[in-house]
Amino acid sequence: MKFIFKKELPNYLEFLFSGLREDIRKAWLAKISLWHLDYQEQYKGGQTSVDIFIDTLIKEYFDNKGCDCFVLSEENPNCEVDYKKLIFIIDPIDGTHNLIMGYHSFTTSIAVYYNNKYIMGWVYDISRDLIYKAAIGEGAYIQNIYESRKIKTQDRKKLSDMRVSFHRAKDDRLITLQRAIVESAGKIRVSSCSSLDICLVASGVLHAFIDLSIHGHERGIDVAAAKIILIEAGGEMMYSTGTTYELQFPSETLIKKHVSIIASSGKNTKQEILRLYNEVDI
């Protein structure tokens, strides 16, 4: 595998994460792929045994590699972040409910923060064995086991030409908006894995991802890596007001605070979605 990023630190991280991908893939083939057959607990949100399993696997991998880093994840949300170190913001499994019911739409994601800024995003689509990755200023890529290819968003002017994914609405006003999207969009896909959907927007498979939950389904830790990939691919992430969604610095807020976001493939897509929000008066 030829590594893409030319800057020294992203190139090192690309190499480091490729080894992590191998360990997660082995765990998937040996254990996780059939996990749903034995999972008896009713999922009520939050962490499960599989989240903890992958979280532990990731931390042990970095320890074994002698990586001098600080890991921020759901397992240590209240700890004091060491900002002098390389910081990995990790979501061990995004799409936990999908995994434990055997629906293949879930990821592991890592956003990298160093010297007071985010520098890289890495999202691993586990069941399909595909990596989405981006380094600031070096573009976004999709990678299989043989090659990496650059990805770009595909902007659209009309909703009828768009492929749209969303987290479904439950509030009456947002249900009205959801109905308008379903009736007008070219295609609708609902995967219940926001990091993957955002990466699909980044790669041109989808044109928009919309969180229609009234209080916000997403947390910074869920979308941090995917946002970096989206921006490097030419897309935008915003609130329903049109204000840009900015990632906060690494802290427990990334894990605990929920927000409602929209990922768009470009300026035209953004304007069309905001027009729909205004028409429905959200």
Q: Report which of 9, 19, 34 is spatially closest to residue 124, judged by C-alpha positions.
A: 19
176/251 same-domain check: yes
**Residues of each annotated binding site for Mg(2+):** 74, 91, 93-94, 222
- For the chain, list residues with pLDDT below 50: none
DSSP letters spanning 119-186: EEEEEEETTTTEEEEEETTS-EEEE-SS-EEE------S-GGG-EEEEEPP-SHHHHHHHHHHHHHSS
Is there a domain that residue 3 lies in? no
Q: Report which of 112, 159, 108 is spatially closest to residue 275, judged by C-alpha positions.
A: 159
pLDDT of residue 44: 66
At 152, phi and psi to the nearest 5? -140, 150
Place of tokens 């790669």: 203
Domain extent for 171: 159-281
146/171 same-domain check: no
Q: What is the DSSP letter of 233?
A: T
- Give the number of other CB atoms < 10 A from CB of residue 217: 18
Q: Report which of 56, 38, 34 is spatially closest to residue 47, judged by C-alpha positions.
A: 56
pLDDT of residue 67: 94
CB hemisphere CA count around 75 (13 angstroms): 19
Q: Which of 117, 133, 150 is the last residue of a domain?
A: 150
Say what the pTM is.
0.95
> In CATH, what number is assigned to the domain containing residue 30?
3.30.540.10
pLDDT of residue 19: 96
pLDDT of residue 47: 78
Torsion angle of C-alpha atoms 25, 55, 70, 45, degrees rounded to 10:
130
18/146 same-domain check: yes
pLDDT of residue 264: 98
116/66 same-domain check: yes
Would you tell me the crossing angle of helices 267-280 and 172-184 to the nearest 10 degrees? 130
173/145 same-domain check: no
194/243 same-domain check: yes
DSSP letters spanning 180-226: HHHHHSSEEE--S-HHHHHHHHHTTS-SEEEE--SS-SEEHHHHHHH
Please write the tens of the pLDDT for every residue from 95-135: 999 998 899 999 999 999 999 999 999 999 999 999 999 99
Is there a domain that residue 210 lies in? yes
Q: What is the DSSP letter of 46?
A: S
Tokens representing 282 are: 């959200």
Is there a domain that residue 178 lies in? yes
**Residues of each annotated binding site:** 74, 91, 93-94, 222
Q: How many domains does the chain have?
A: 2
